[in-house]
Chain A
Amino acid sequence: MSKTKDAAVHRNPLGDELRGGRTAKPCALVIFGATGDLTKRKLVPSLMGLAKDGLLPSGFAVVGFARRDWSDQMFRKELAEGVEQFGRSDTVAAFEALADSFSFHQSDFGDADGYASLKQKLDQIDRQHGTAGNRLFYLATPPSAYSSILGHLAAAGLSKDNDGKFARIIVEKPFGRDLDTAVALNEQLRAGFHERQVFRIDHYLGKETVQNILALRFANGIFEPLWNEKFVDHVQITVAESIGVGSRGGYFEESGIIRDMIQNHLMQVLTLVAMEPPATLSADGVRDEKVKVLKAIRSFQPADVDRETVRAQYTGGSFGGEDVKGYREEQGVPANSTTETYAAVRLQVENWRWSGTPFYLRAGKRLPRRVTEVAIQFKQPPHLLFQGGRPLQSNVLLLRIQPDEGVALRFGAKVPGPDVRIRDVRMDFRYGTAFGGETADAYERLLLDAMLGDGTLFARRDEVEEAWRIVDSIVGGWKQSRHRPEEYVAGTWGPERADALLTAGRQWRKP
C-alpha cells in the first residue's frame, strides 16, 4: 500500500467501508474509440455492472473520444441503449444515476489540439466529479491508431504518474501481429508509460473459470501432487467455435486462428495450467511464473513444424441443418487463401515438472460446438487388475471454461452385480448450479482491476513477446512448408491429419 493511501485511510474514519470490498480510487476513464462496438457492447455495460454492485468509486467519470460529431446527449443515448441491450439485469437504473458523468470529446486521434482540450476537460471533471486527477485511458480502437494516440498522450503530458495521481492505459488485443510488431508496440508504450501503468487485456483471463484454474490447483491439496509428468499423460486445451468468419473475412485473412486465438487465449490458459505455484498472488508473482512456462517451450525448427502442428481450412458443408460456405468462398477471402481456420499444435514444456508430457492445443472455426476446455488426461494405473469387457479410459480431469463452466472427473466404478465389471462414470461440478446467479462479464473484473492497479490478470510485456516467439516459429515453418493447409468439412472436429499429432494411443476429445 502506498504512503498516500495510508494517509487517506487514516484521515477517513469510515474508510474501511471502502477497503472492505475492492473499491478503486476516484478516477476518470477516457475511452478512445468510444463510438465503437466494444464500448457499447462491453465496456459501458460492464461499468454499469460494477456500479450496480457498488464497486465504482463515487468520484468517477467517463470521457468518450472519437471523431463523430456527437453531443454528450447523443453519446449517453447510445450508451443507454447498449446497457439496456447488453447489460446485466438492473443496470439501466445504474446508468440513469450516473449518466451525468459521461461526456463526449470530439477529435481525430491525430489532432494534437484534441489532446490539449482533453487535458483541460479532465481538469474540469476533477473539480466537478471529484475524480482526483487519476486517469485511466482505454484504447478501444483499431490497432493502427495506437501509435498516434500513445504519442499524443505522452506529448500532452497525460501519461505520467504524478504526485500520487495515477495515469494508466488499457490496450486491447491484438498486441502486434508477430514478434517484431509486438516489440514495436511495446516500445511505443514504453516511451510514454512505465510497464506498471500498462494493462494488456486478454478477456479470457477475466473469466471466473479461467481464474478458477489457479484456485483448483493451489487451494486444494489433492490435485497438485498429481499435477506433473509422473501422473499426467498429456493435456488437451481446446477452443472451438461453431461460427465461421462471417463478415470478418478480410480481418481474419490477415491473422488466422493462430494469431487470433492461440497466441493469446490458449497460451494464457496453458501458462495457468502448467505454471509452478507462485510465492505470492501478487501481479508479478503470478506473471513471473507464467512467463517461465513460455520460456520453457522451445521455438520450432522449420523442418519440425509439419510434424508438430496441423493447420487447416473449413470447406462448405451442412451445418446445423443449413448449407454453409467454405472458408475460401467467404466474403473478403481470396480463393487461393492459405490462412488457417483450424490449428493444432503439440508443445513440450521442457522443465522438471512436465518433461515428456505433451500439451496439445487446438483452436478452430466451424467446429461442431462452441466450447473451451482443458482436459488433464492421467496415466493408466501401472498394473491393470480389472481386465475384460470394454477397455477402460484413463482418468480425465476436465476444466470446462465455457459453456457449462465447471470441473468434471472421469473415473472407473464397479457396475453393481455379482461380476467384477468396471464402467467409466463422471463426477461433475457445475459453476452455474453451485453458485448460480448472474456471473459478471470478464470485462467487469478487468476494468475494476485496472482501476485498482492490479495487473495480475493482464498480460505482461515479456509474456506477450514470448508467446509471439513460439507462434512466429510455427508461422515461419508454415511459410516454408511445401504443403497447403489441410481441409475439414464445416461441422466436423477438424482434419484427419490432426489425429496423427496424438501418438501412443491418445485421441482427441470430442467435447
Chain B
Amino acid sequence: MSNGAPTLCRTPPRATSLPQIPDALRAIWRSCTSEIGDADVARSLAINFVGVASAAEEADLRQAVDRLQRRTPCRAFLLLLDDTTRAVTAEVSATTRLSGGTHDIVLEEITIRIPTAGLERMPGLVRPMLVNDLPDHLFWATGWPRNERLFDDLAALCEHVVVDTRRFRSPAVEIRHLDARRQDGLAITDLSWLRLRPWRRALAEAFERIEFAPGTATDVQIRHGTGALAAAMRLGEWLETRLGAKVALDGAGAVDRACPNRVLLRCGDNEIDLQAPENQIAVHVTTAAHCFLPFKVPTSRGTDGDLLAAAIDIA
C-alpha cells in the first residue's frame, strides 16, 4: 500500500561566496545533468523557502527541510546564526528524486552561516534569488529576536511566516509580540498550535458526548512541562474564547514534552479528563448519567518537519 521510499540523491555541498551563489547554483544544475548521464533532469519547485535557526538548531532545521522537500519541492535558503565567529560562509547543494526514469531537482539548498547581526543583509541577498511566480514562506525556527526588525524584514519578503513558539525563551511576553503582527495582517502559523491538533480534536470529540449549555461555568486545568508552556498558553486561550472557561496552567508536568500532559475540564456535571502519559491521549468523559469507556487518540501527527509541511500546505 505504501509507495515505498523514493530514490533521492544529494550532491555534495559546494562552498561559495555570497556574490557567487547564483553561479554556484547553475554549476550544480550542470553537474546533476552530467553525473546522471543519459537520464533527463528536470527541476520541479513549488515554493521558495527561507529558514532561520541558530547554529545549534541546524540539525533540526535540516531535518524539517528534508521532510518538507518530500511533499513540497523548494528552493531553500537556510540562514544559520552563529555568533561565535564573524565569518560569513555559504554553500549550495541540490537533491534530486528519481521518478519514472527522470531525475527531478526537488531541493536547491543554499546554506549561509552568519552572525545574528548579519541577518540584516539577508533580505537584499535573498530577494533576487527567489524563483519567480512561486509562493515564498519564512520559517523562523529559533527564539524571538532581541532586534525585532530582523524578523520583520525577512517576514516582509514572504507571504507566509511559520514560527515555533516552543523555541521562544519567554513565551508569555513574546507570543504577544507575535500576535500583534498577526493582528496587523501578517499570515502566521505557529507550530505549537498545529501540534495541539490531536488535543483540540480530542476535546471536540469529548464535547460530542455531553450536552453543553452556553454560559455554563467551566474550569480548566492544564498541566504541562517547561517545554510546553507555549502550547499550554495557546490551548488555554482557545478554551477561554470558546467556552468562556477559567483556565489555570500548572507547570509541574514532564519537561521534555512539546504538548500538555493533562487537561482536566469541568463544566456543570460533566468532566472531561485528557491524559497523555505516552504517545496517546486517553480521553475520559463522565456525565451525570454516564461514564463512557475512554477513547484514545495518538498525540502526534508526525515530526516537526511534517508539521512544517502541513503549515505550508494550509497557508
Contacts and interface: CB of A to CB of B under 8 A. Distances in A.
A88 B306 CA distance: 15
Nearest to B313: A435
A63 B298 CA distance: 22
B243 interface: yes
Contact of B106 (A98, A403, A436): A436
Nearest to A8: B208
A26 interface: yes
A430 B44 contact: yes
A87 B3 CA distance: 10
Which of B1, B73, B242, B309 neighbours the largest number of chain A CB atoms within 10 Å of its CB? B1
Nearest to B285: A130
Given A15-B204, A54-B197, A87-B1, A436 B298 contact: no
Contact of A26 (B102, B204, B208): B208
Contacts of B3: 432, 438-439
Interface stretch (A45-53, A180-188, A304-312, A342-350): A45-53
B200 A17 contact: yes
Given A94-B298, A98-B296, A130-B295, A13 B214 contact: yes
A436 B201 contact: no
B280 interface: yes
Contacts of A113: none
B100 interface: yes
B2 A87 contact: yes
A441 B1 contact: yes
Interface string A121-134: 00000001110000
Which of B2, B279, B283, B302 neighbours the largest number of chain A CB atoms within 10 Å of its CB? B2
A14 interface: yes
Given A53-B301, A436-B69, A436-B72, A14 B242 contact: yes
Contacts of B204: 12, 14-18
A93 interface: yes
B150 interface: no
B201 A18 contact: yes
A54 B201 contact: yes
Interface string B1-28: 1110010000000000000000000000
Contacts of B202: 58
Interface string B299-315: 00110000001000000
Nearest to B68: A436
A15 B102 CA distance: 46
A11 B204 CA distance: 11
B46 interface: yes
A97 interface: yes
A454 to B, nearest CB: 20
A434 B203 CA distance: 35
Interface in B228-274: 242-243
B242 to A, nearest CB: 5
A433 B97 contact: yes
Would you call the interface of chain B mostly helix, strand, loop, or mixed? mixed
B302 A434 contact: no
Interface in A428-478: 428-430, 432-439, 441
B121 to A, nearest CB: 32
A13 B1 contact: no
B173 interface: no
A351 interface: no
A57 B283 CA distance: 13
A325 B1 CA distance: 28
Which of B205, B293, B297, B309 neighbours the largest number of chain A CB atoms within 10 Å of its CB? B205
Given A54-B201, A435-B71, A436-B70, A86 B1 contact: yes
Interface in A461-508: none
A434 B73 contact: yes
B212 A432 contact: no
B292 A130 contact: yes
Contacts of B2: 87-89, 438
A404 interface: yes
B102 to A, nearest CB: 7
B99 interface: yes
A370 to B, nearest CB: 13
B311 to A, nearest CB: 14
A176 to B, nearest CB: 28
Contact of A97 (B71, B104, B201, B280): B280
Interface string B175-198: 000000000000000000000011
Contacts of B297: 54, 58, 97
B38 interface: no
A317 interface: no
A46 B208 contact: no
B1 A42 contact: yes
A90 interface: yes
A49 B200 CA distance: 20
Contact of A58 (B6, B70, B243, B283): B283
Interface in A37-93: 41-42, 45-46, 49, 51-54, 57-59, 86-90, 93
B205 A57 contact: yes
Interface in B42-92: 42, 44, 46, 69-73
Given A13-B214, A58-B205, A433-B104, 18 more contacts: A12-B212, A13-B242, A15-B207, A17-B203, A18-B208, A42-B1, A54-B297, A58-B297, A59-B208, A59-B209, A90-B302, A98-B296, A129-B295, A430-B44, A433-B44, A433-B73, A438-B3, A439-B3
Interface of B: 1-3, 6, 42, 44, 46, 69-73, 97, 99-100, 102, 104, 106, 197-198, 200-209, 211-212, 214, 242-243, 279-280, 283, 292-293, 295-298, 301-302, 309
Among all A-B residue pairs, the 10 with the closest Cβ atoms: A404-B100, A17-B204, A58-B205, A14-B204, A436-B70, A437-B71, A436-B71, A433-B104, A58-B295, A97-B296
30 contacts: A11-B212, A13-B212, A13-B214, A13-B242, A13-B243, A17-B200, A18-B208, A53-B301, A58-B206, A59-B208, A86-B1, A88-B2, A90-B302, A93-B279, A94-B298, A97-B280, A97-B296, A97-B298, A129-B295, A130-B209, A130-B293, A130-B295, A428-B42, A432-B3, A432-B97, A433-B44, A434-B46, A435-B71, A436-B70, A437-B71
